[in-house]
Amino acid sequence: MVRLLLVVVLVLAVLVLIGFVTGYNRLRRADVAVSEALSGVDVELTRRAALIPGLVHTVQSFATHEKAILDRASAARAALAAATGGQSVARRSAAEHDLDTALAGVLALGSSYPQLSSSNNFLNLQENLAETENKLAFARQYYNDAVATLNRLVGTIPWMYVAGLAGVSEREYYQTPR
């Protein structure tokens, strides 16, 4: 009888250990997926920021007296570059909002200067910005999906008991700039 009890206890201990290892690995994998997805957002934000100097230069050649608008776009680009790479999703989103606002002013100059809106450089840059925005929207969605998966794991039984030991906690969603 004692022998049977020891076997049952041993089997239960092994099952608990297997469950712990499985939960730990699953949580760490979800956490890595969130970090990977955030890096994808950073790549697209960086790509978008890299287009700004060309856009500013092109607009500057047609609208030399619009320096304040162009300076604002350059400053917003620098702020976005500083925000990428860190852990704060809210900071990225705020910097992206500032860049969107600044870009709206630069792109609005195209309607004020007909020769600018017919420039091949300006049209190509607008097209690249639109393409990058589509990729950025996809990267944001991918990140938010990864965060949703992680947050579901962290908040449900039995994974919530392993989350602290795995060093994993809930992450914030990426809010689209408004």
pLDDT value at 88 more than 90? no
Q: For residue 28, what pLDDT is reported?
A: 94
Q: Dihedral through CA 92, CA 95, CA 100, CA 106, nearest 10? A: -140
Question: Measuring CA to CA, which residue among 138, 137, 139 is closest to residue 40?
Answer: 139
CB atoms closer than 10 angstroms to residue 46: 14
Q: For residue 116, what pLDDT is reported?
A: 76
> For the residues 72-91, what does the mean pLDDT come to?
86
Q: For residue 177, what pLDDT is reported?
A: 65
Share of the chain above pLDDT 90, in %: 37
Tokens describing residue 76: 């917003």
Tens digit of pLDDT for each residue in 111-155?
777 777 778 888 888 899 899 999 999 999 999 999 999 999 999
> Cis link prior to 158 (omega < 30° from 0)?
yes
Q: What angle do CA 23, 26, 30 make, to 5 degrees?
A: 140
Share of the chain above pLDDT 70, in %: 98
Tokens describing residue 101: 């606002």
- What value does the mean pLDDT of the chain take? 88
- Enter the DSSP assignment of 172: P
Q: Predicted confidence band at 3 (pLDDT cuts at 50, 70, 90)?
A: confident
CA–chain centroid gap for 137, Å, is: 9
Tens digit of pLDDT for each residue in 91-110?
888 888 898 888 888 888 87
| Rounded distance between C-alpha atoms, residue 4 and residue 86, angstroms | 55
Q: For residue 10, what pLDDT is reported?
A: 94
